[in-house]
């Protein structure tokens, strides 16, 4: 009996190993495990086995049966049906097709324009400095000649973090710091974010970007300020652009002014961008107030200086015809992808 079981096992394994298709497997299954197969015959012949040997032999036959079922099951994956083959055929990859373009990250339009402004101003002789976004009342207001109860503080709706600390309302917070730490000639720019507690609308936001400029030396004049500003604007827009200087008040400059440029969108005939005035304000500017020079330990009898704070978003609105400042912070890819890096 043992010999018969063993030779059946060998025969089965041999056939299984030489099968070529799932149809072959099916045949093997019917042949060995079917009702009239050799396993059933073996079972039947158990009758002829002595009662002592019967349980052991029966066990062997069952073992072989389980073995065959397991081996057939495991072999299924060796052969795919024609349908499965057809599916593979359909999914075949055409390696000659061009690849799908992946979207590569790029600089945000604000970063791009900041870089552009910085490059122009470096070329004009300025060096770059960065001030803290979180600053003290001293650097943001006091050292800029805002008296504690000065109504000008109300001009800037400030986010206070404590009685003394705040989110800077302008990049002018760099001025006293730079003057304390350096002797003239000082010729720096300071780009960065500024924060104001304002209602968010198409034209104002709780944070935006400025580029501060500060130039202190002997004989720095108002003419230097106008010429530097005009030259920057011409370089930035790539052509001569009309500028307009309006007297204005900031405690840290005297005289102070606001700088407008003619609206590029409507050529001064009036449109939504310029609120139908033909002009757009891009900066506050002026000659550094003698008191501010004193805060920076610089003798106002010897030195003079000019400063400006320029609005970055404003320049982008004009240069690219963006109508709503909120778009800059909404992360809408349809908007952002319109500004490829050049």
Note the residues at the interface with ligand PHE (CB under 6 A): 170, 172, 250, 253, 256, 284-286, 307-309
Q: By the 8 A CB rule, do 113 and 319 touch?
A: yes
Nearer to ligand PHE, 38 or 256 (CB): 256
Nearer to ligand PHE, 16 or 212 (CB): 212
Give me the DSSP letters along 109-161. HHHHHHHHHHHHHHHTT-EE----SEEEHHHHTGGGT--TT-GGGGGS---BS
Nearer to ligand PHE, 170 or 314 (CB): 170
Nearer to ligand PHE, 42 or 307 (CB): 307
**Exposed, middle or buried, 14 (CB in 10 Å: 0-12/13-18/19+)?**
exposed
CB of 172 to ligand PHE, least distance (A): 4
198 is an annotated ligand-binding site residue: no
**Exposed, middle or buried, 318 (CB in 10 Å: 0-12/13-18/19+)?**
buried
How far is residue 206's CA from residue 152's CA, in Å, rounded to a whole number?
19
What residues have CB less than 8 Å from 144, skipping those under 6 apart? 172, 173, 175, 176, 251, 252, 292, 295
Place of tokens 């730079």: 178
CB of 310 to ligand PHE, least distance (A): 8
Nearer to ligand PHE, 8 or 288 (CB): 288
Measured torsion, CA atoms of residues 107, 328, 209, 286, in degrees rounded to the nearest 10: 120
CA 311 to chain centre: 22
CB of 258 to ligand PHE, least distance (A): 8
CB of 307 to ligand PHE, least distance (A): 4
CB of 254 to ligand PHE, least distance (A): 10
Binding residues for Mg(2+), by number, are 254
């Amino acid at each position: 009996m043992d010999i018969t079981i063993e030779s059946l096992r060998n025969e089965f394994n041999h056939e299984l190993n030489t099968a070529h298709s799932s149809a072959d497997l099916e045949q093997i299954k019917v042949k060995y495990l079917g009702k009239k197969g050799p396993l059933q015959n073996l079972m039947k012949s158990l009758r002829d086995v002595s009662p002592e040997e019967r349980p052991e032999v029966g066990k062997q036959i069952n073992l072989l049966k389980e073995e065959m079922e397991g081996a057939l099951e495991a072999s299924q994956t060796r052969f795919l049906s024609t349908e499965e083959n057809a599916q593979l055929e359909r999914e075949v990859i055409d390696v000659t097709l061009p690849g799908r373009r992946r979207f590569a990250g790029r600089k945000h339009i604000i970063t791009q324009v900041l870089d552009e402004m910085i490059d122009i101003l470096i070329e004009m002789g300025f060096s770059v400095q960065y001030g803290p976004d979180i600053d003290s009342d001293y650097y943001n207001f006091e050292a800029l000649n805002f008296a504690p109860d000065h109504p000008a503080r109300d001009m800037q709706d400030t986010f206070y973090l404590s009685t003394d600390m705040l989110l800077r309302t302008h990049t002018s917070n760099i001025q006293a710091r730079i003057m304390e730490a350096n002797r003239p000639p000082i010729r720096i720019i300071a780009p960065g974010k500024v924060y104001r507690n304002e209602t968010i609308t198409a034209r104002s936001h709780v944070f935006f970007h400025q580029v501060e400029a500060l130039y202190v030396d002997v004989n720095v004049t108002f003419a230097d300020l106008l010429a530097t500003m005009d030259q920057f604007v011409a370089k930035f827009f790539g052509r001569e652009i009309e500028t307009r200087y309006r007297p204005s008040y900031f405690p840290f400059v005297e005289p102070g002014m606001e700088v407008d440029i003619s609206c590029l969108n409507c050529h001064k005939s009036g449109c939504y961008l310029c609120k139908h005035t033909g002009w757009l304000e891009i900066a506050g500017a002026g000659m550094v107030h003698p008191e501010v020079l004193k805060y920076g330990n610089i003798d106002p009898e010897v030195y003079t200086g000019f400063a400006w704070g320029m609005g970055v978003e404003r320049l982008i609105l004009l240069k690219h015809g963006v109508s709503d400042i909120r778009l800059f912070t909404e992360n809408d890819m349809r908007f952002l992808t319109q500004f490829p890096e050049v």
